[in-house]
Chains A and B, each alone.
Chain A
Amino acid sequence: MSTTAVPDVAVAPVDEGFWTRTRKVGLVLLALGLLATVLFGVLATGEQARFTLSEDAAGAALEINGTVGAVLFGLIALAAGGAMLVGLPKRWFVPVLAVGLIAFVFSFLCWQVSAAPTGQNFMPLVNIVRGTFLLALPLIFGSLAGVLCERSGVVNVAIEGQLLMGAFSGALFGSISGSVWVGLLAAAVGGSFISLLLAVFSIRYLVDQVVMGIVLNLLAVGITGFLYERLMQTDAAKYNSAPRFSNWEIPLLSDIPVLGPALFRGNIFLYLALLLVLVIHIALFRTRWGLRTRSVGEHPTAADTLGVKVLGLRYRNVIMAGAVAGIGGASYTLALFSFTKNMIGGKGFIALAALIFGRWSPTGALLAALFFGFADQLATYLGAINSIIPGQFLAMLPYLATILAVAGLVGRVRAPAADGKPYIKG
């Protein structure tokens, strides 16, 4: 709870010896690079691997000989790993790691694309990028809901339930009113309803926050499932045919190759998600509300002694989080599909993983969500070209990465100090 008595002896720098974190990661990267160069290089065929900038085989494309590409990118990863092993200034750590990992992925893709059945030796980048964002969308909303909640010290395991409730209320009230905007508002209210319960029980009645979150997820599945069968299915035209947001094309920006069609011809949810990441990031680190939120999540007693209303702030943040997740749920029912039972299917838990992988920061959560989305999309693509790598194996990787991240292998992951701890005055 409090800053403990730590004399300056404790702040002496840690002597890690030769095997610093950079060197350890470098070694792993070196191994990946070696794998890419040798294995992918051998398995790749001499076919051209085409990365088309459009949605099909036609049009402009980046082309490279499969074997050459696999080996070349493998060598880049190898070089990045080597640089880390030799010794690298701290500020170069992240960029070099990123280059190494991306090179590894491209080496893999060169192999896969070149080894695909004849006529399918291409990868439509637009599809991949667009699919990545589409699959990441609920994760972005969900993990932002997690950021809002957990930065103020309340664990949000109920993201799944909030997404589901948002999807359901969006569909129901959107259908009844015939207005997408009413639907959107209802979705936010629906998500807030679940998080209000979370707030009341965990803040007021001090129920264990994780247990409460799980119970709320089950509650949301129950309520929406019941109403879906008893209400929506009786008259789907009336209750489950919500209008949908159309895509808005942003002039000029939408003409950018690859990114334009993927990012600037989307619907309101895509824009809203990106905007929210930006707004929450700025608010959290640059405003009074953000400073207070973080202080309440780290050391609520200290905040209290300075006149910050700890419980009030937590209530507000948890409810806001529910609204954000609710809108995320509506990104299904007000844009893509009509409501079906348990349609979120665990995305809320994946959002929770993205939150942790992104180290409780909005931008980190965005990147983690995109990474998860990309892996998902790649799995679909590999299925389509009959790859020898099972799509399921690829779909598993993000979670493996999360476990490694949580285990502290990729730098220290530190949750807000008071996360999950109820604040009792006095």
Chain B
Amino acid sequence: MEPGEIHALLGENGAGKSTLMNVLYGLYQPDEGEILVDGEPLKLRGPSDAIAAGIGMVHQHFMLVPVFTVTENIMLGAEQVRGGIAGFLDRRRARREVAEVSERYNLRVDPDAVIEDLPVGVQQRVEIVKALTRDVDLLILDEPTAVLTPQETEELLAVMRSLKAAGKSIVFITHKLGEVKAIADRITVIRRGKTVGTASPEASRDELAALMVGRTVRLTVDKAPATPGEPVLEIAGLVVDDDRQVRAVDGVDLTVRAGEVLGVAGVQGNGQTELIEAIMGLRPVLAGTVTLDGQRIDGWSTKKVLRAGVGYVPEDRSVDGLVKEFSVAENLVLDMYDRPPFGRGLSLRPDEIGRSAAERIEQFDVRTSSADAPVGTLSGGNQQKVIVARELSRPLKLFIAAQPTRGVDVGSIEFIHSRVIHERDIGTAVLVVSSELDEVIGLADRVAVMYRGRIIGVVGPDTPREEIGLLMAGITPDATGGSPDDGTVPTATTDPDVAATADADVSSDAGTQAITDRDVTATTDGVAPAPEGSEDKKA
């Protein structure tokens, strides 16, 4: 790292970016290797050593105490005190310092606001101010844009530029290529815990993506144009509260037709979770109706909804989709355990369960040591395939997939995506919710954008990303790209700009590397091969 440099650390989920940075911040101890600062080896026993060495970090999940004020959060660990050993907090001085730093770098925060009342973008600003008050020279930003709208992201990039102008070095961890190209001075790509190359921002998206996942990525989801039929799911005026009795879904109207994929895009936490849970009968519907094939299903129990022909992949498989301690076979019959052929009277029929499990493990390419292995021992992608296999084994009218590929490797993503499209092609109505815009655009025949509990626009998947981004931020242009909710938006080939990042967000599949690292570096300017091991700060 050079002073005043923005260094992007690029890699797929699980490549070891965050682990590396946690080592650098003293949270984890390295097993081998050393860290050099100004040529001197640095031994970090904990975060306080890192802070003393001028290293600050903004974590992916913010490290803020929700019930504390901004000032309290910022002073924690480096409190200004008076009164000697008693250590009375000097809040006035701390508040002054917060105001001073936030003014100097143009990071507006209210020192007395309580964190839990602040929007995410502001919480992130608090994190950055927190690091800056500790006089850092090197600031690590771990996936800072994951929870931001495109507009908030722009603001963040501006902040990073001003920090750079003030002589701070920044490590910017991300898997989003567009941002990297917009801001980085230098790019290091990490894969499976190893540095696989460094590149300059002039390198093309395809080159970076290839470097990141280690083979030419499939940039689009292959699919034929949709042939939408009759409406299957009709939602009208739906109102739902979240766990804290705050309105989360506020008058949603949606229609999903047979044989089409409706994608719901939006920044996480804008009511998507509650919308899906309300459809599934997991959350009370306060107003409005949910209709499946002409039949009202709001107020039904979840079991009844499932049996009516709805398949459901919940957004967080570790909490909702699987019983981790149960075997793969048991998890595969969680929906039908009490029905023939799996159940008879009061007893289960293990032979039937085992036979069906073996069949589906084969069919859905679940990589497991055996059908009796606890599902928790499988990789994320294979766990997800178990859920998909279970849900797609019933005759479905409607298939709902929430974050279907979160934390899933590339191979599994392709598989899951192709199953989703296959389901569409056999005439099922499909509703996909994802916080990854690229996934929504890639899969959907129509894209509904959700903002603050409302659908603020339904557009075609060929709508420019920027326009959808604006919608995600709640800004409705005068003329929206697609005609809203008429179900006739034509399926077009995906926008090339979008396509470049479509699959780049995700983990690679080890097995099939189409081109090696050196193939990539040999054929492109601006991408230099990494000398084996020299920059290899293995965690």
Which residues in A have some Cβ–Cβ distance to B below 8 Å? Answer: 1-12, 14-15, 286-292, 294-295, 298-299, 301-308, 417, 425-426
Contacts and interface: CB of A to CB of B under 8 A. Distances in A.
A9 B453 contact: yes
A288 B63 contact: no
Contact of B27 (A287, A292, A304): A304
A350 B115 CA distance: 34
Contacts of B77: 292, 303, 306-308
A306 B242 contact: no
Interface residues of B, number: 51
Nearest to A304: B47
Nearest to B451: A9
Given A3-B62, A3-B115, A307-B48, A286 B67 contact: no
Given A14-B245, A298-B67, A2 B61 contact: yes
B142 to A, nearest CB: 11
Given A305-B27, A307-B48, A3 B66 contact: yes
Nearest to A10: B246
A182 B140 CA distance: 54
B51 interface: yes
Given A305-B57, A307-B46, A417 B66 contact: yes
Contact of A1 (B61, B68, B75, B147): B61
17 contacts: A3-B61, A3-B64, A3-B123, A5-B267, A6-B116, A7-B268, A7-B452, A10-B244, A288-B79, A288-B81, A291-B79, A294-B65, A299-B66, A303-B76, A305-B25, A417-B66, A426-B27
B65 A298 contact: yes
B203 interface: no
Contacts of A426: 22, 27-28
Nearest to B63: A302
A291 B89 contact: yes
Interface of B: 22, 25, 27-28, 46-48, 51, 57, 59, 61-68, 72-73, 75-79, 81, 86-89, 115-120, 123, 147, 242, 244-248, 267-271, 452-453
Given A3-B116, A6-B269, A291-B75, A306 B63 contact: yes
A331 to B, nearest CB: 26
Contacts of B269: 4-7, 9-10
A305 B47 contact: yes
A302 B27 CA distance: 11
Given A305-B27, A307-B48, A9 B88 contact: no
A286 B92 CA distance: 12
Contacts of B76: 291-292, 295, 302-303, 306, 308
Contact of A298 (B48, B66, B117): B66
Contacts of A292: 76-77
Contact of B67 (A7, A304, A306, A417): A417
Contacts of A12: 246-247
Nearest to A297: B65
Contacts of B66: 3, 298-299, 417
A302 B88 contact: no
B26 to A, nearest CB: 9
B453 A287 contact: no
A11 B28 CA distance: 35
Given A288-B87, A291-B72, A308-B77, 18 more contacts: A1-B61, A2-B63, A3-B62, A9-B270, A10-B246, A11-B119, A287-B88, A289-B87, A291-B79, A291-B89, A292-B76, A301-B63, A302-B76, A304-B47, A306-B77, A306-B78, A307-B78, A426-B28
A332 B127 CA distance: 50
Nearest to B149: A7
